[in-house]
Amino acid sequence: MKPKILLLDIDGVLVQPAGYRLATEATCQYFLKKGGIAIPVSYPEIYSLFEAQRVTSEWDMVPLALLMVLNAISEVNPIPARVNSLDEALSWTKQKSLSNITVRIETEILQLGQYIFPGKTAAQCVLDAKLNGHASDIFKYLDNPLLLSELLSKTRNILGCETTRKFQEFALGGEIFKHTYNHEPEEWLPSFLLTYDRSLLSEEFQKILVEKILKRDLAACVYTARPSLPPREEQMDLMNYSPEAELAMKLCHLESLPMIGYGKLGYLASKTGRTIPEYIKPAPVQALAAIASAWTGNESLGLEWAARISIGNCDMNTTVDIPMEFELYVLEDSASGIQGARKAAELLNQNGWKVEFHPIGISAHPEKRKTLIQSGAEIYSDVNIALEAIL
């Protein structure tokens, strides 16, 4: 029997990310309130639509959603070209009497996917397309390139990006925010992640997974874009590494599994001189690292091996002894994770391995199911039903 390797996404698969969704809504409402803007927007719907268009980070969702609202306002009451920042825009809107504003949020979001490609953040992709004149259908009533740049060009600069910083305050809460970034939060809030997230993985399958891994009946790794700590084998300064993936794993009682998340890829990028967007899904490096980490149990070795494989260094005489034939199952709620794992399997197959790839999509949302089906995934509405079929 071929070995089985499972890659498990967190949000929408192992965890119902109510904390992230509510933090996204709270962050948007915080800024809209500053601008005296009272426009109803369906945030649960926004979240799934964004993910279906490969916008999978809340750090990108928030500024994009705010720009969609400002664009709708500017259609009726044009925002002056001299407005160059979010603070200026919100000061301007607060002085206006806003009425008859309709935000066509679904239409706006569904236009984004065509401009988003691996190697850059979704926000940066949209900004580049807009500034290069390739996206006239997006934010077409905003003649404010500096405003767009301020909101979209630095979403990974936690303390330097106003919207990302506020989102992290809501998501982590004041105490974890202070410990993580060594900066006082604007407000000492409770952690939305600790308060509202819940496990989607049943106690039965929590036990089954751990038991099968211990018996070597299968290997598994958590495969997530969530911010995380660096590799668990490394002793280093944890400043600016946020334990959001680790909090979710604890919630699911899967702390013993290896995990490749945003922080692990940041660690790798710092060693190789590359960037996180070059490594994170839908790029194949994250999936390659997750495969190796699942098999060895060692995140550092998995990351190093993935970086070598991705540049064509397929020397078999390494400390990472991946089986030459195996079945790869990836359980995902977004197409980007499926695409990254598929590219990883194809890369291995091109270099002598025989990988049988099984993409599994987990979602009940019609638009997300549609994009998952387009990526070739077999669809389940629940992770426990999918695991029952696999195991």
**CATH code, domain with 243:** 3.40.50.1000
Residue 386 pLDDT more than 90?
yes
Q: Which two tokens stand for residue 13?
A: 């698969």
Q: What percent of the chain has pLDDT over 70?
A: 97
Cis peptide before 366 (omega within 30 of 0): no
Strand, helix or coil for residue 372: helix
Q: Is the pLDDT of residue 39 over 80?
A: no
* Same-domain pairing of 167 and 216: no
Cβ atoms of 346 and 354 within 8 Å: the answer is no
Does one domain contain both 176 and 206? no
Residues 157 and 79 in one domain: yes
Tell whether 217 and 174 lie within a shared domain.
no
Range in 47-51, 107-111, 182-186 the model is least confident about? 47-51
Question: How far is the C-alpha of 368 from the C-alpha of 385, rounded, in Å?
Answer: 18
Q: If pLDDT is split at 50, 70 and 90, which confidence band does 157 have?
A: very high
Boundary residue ending a domain (139, 172, 193): 193
Q: pLDDT value at position 118?
A: 85
User: For position 41, what pLDDT does the model report?
Assistant: 66
Q: Are residues 86 and 169 in the same domain?
A: yes
Number of domains in the chain: 2
| Residue 315, pLDDT score | 65
Tokens of 228: 């995380």
User: Per-residue pLDDT averaged across 155-162, rounded?
Assistant: 94
Are residues 9 and 50 located together in one domain of the fold? Answer: no
On the question of pLDDT at 268 being above 90, the answer is: yes
Averaged pLDDT of the chain: 93
CB 369 within 8 A of CB 91: no
Q: Which residues pair with 330 in a beta bridge?
A: 7, 359
State the Cα–Cα distance between residues 260 and 134, nearest whole angstrom: 34
pLDDT band, residue 211 (cuts 50/70/90): very high
The pLDDT value given to residue 38: 85
CB 267 within 8 A of CB 280: no
Count of alpha carbons within 13 Å of 385, Cβ hemisphere only? Answer: 10
Using CA atoms, how far residue 168 sits from 23, 122, 183, 193, 363, in Å, is 8, 18, 12, 10, 26
Q: What is the pLDDT of residue 40?
A: 67
Q: pLDDT category, 43, cuts 50, 70, 90?
A: low
Looking at the DSSP bridge assignments, the partners of residue 379 are 361
Q: What are phi and psi of 342, to 5 degrees?
A: -65, -45
pLDDT (mean) for 373-382? 96
Q: Are residues 59 and 142 in the same domain?
A: yes
Does 180 have pLDDT greater than 60? Answer: yes
Separation in Å, CA 363 to CA 52, 194, 249, 333, 371: 11, 23, 20, 6, 10
Q: How many CB atoms lie within 10 A of CB 100?
A: 6
- Same domain flag for 170 and 90: yes
Residue 181 tokens read as 């970034």
pLDDT at 35 over 80: yes
Q: Is 328 helix (H, G, I), strand (E, B) or coil?
A: strand
Which backbone phi and psi does 281 adopt, to 5 degrees? -55, 135
Which of these three, 154, 169, 193, is where a domain ends?
193
Residue 72 has pLDDT above 70, yes or no: yes
The arithmetic mean of pLDDT across residues 363-380, rounded, is 92
User: What's the rounded Cα separation, in Å, for the pair 183 and 240?
Assistant: 10
Entry pTM: 0.85
pLDDT at residue 99 greater than cutoff 90:
no
Does residue 145 share a domain with residue 86? yes
Helix-helix angle 122-131:58-76, to 10 degrees? 40
Q: Assess contact for 70 and 79: CB atoms under 8 A.
A: yes
Quote the domain boundaries for residue 378.
4-13+198-390
Considering the domain architecture, whether residues 188 and 212 belong to the same structural domain is answered as no
pLDDT of amino acid 316: 56
Contact between 139 and 67 under an 8 Å Cβ cutoff? The reply is yes
Last residue of a domain, one of 142, 170, 193: 193
Q: Are residues 243 and 213 in the same domain?
A: yes
Q: Are 136 and 163 within one domain?
A: yes
Determine the straight-line distance between the first and last CA of the chain, rounded to whole angstroms: 13
Residues 308-356 have pLDDT tens digits of: 998 877 665 566 889 999 999 999 999 999 999 999 999 999 999 999 9
Instruction: At 203, list the tokens.
Output: 């106690």
Phi, psi dihedrals of residue 79, rounded to the nearest 5°: -75, 130
Residue 194 pLDDT grade (very low, low, confident, very high; cuts 50, 70, 90): very high
Whether the pLDDT of residue 222 is over 80: the answer is yes
Mean pLDDT across 17-38? 93
CA-CA distances (angstroms) from residue 210 to 69, 252, 300, 331, 368? 46, 11, 21, 17, 29
Cβ atoms 326, 345 nearer than 8 A: no
Q: Give the model's pLDDT for residue 47.
A: 83
**pLDDT tens for residues 55-70?**
989 999 999 999 999 9
Confidence class for position 373, pLDDT limits 50, 70, 90? very high
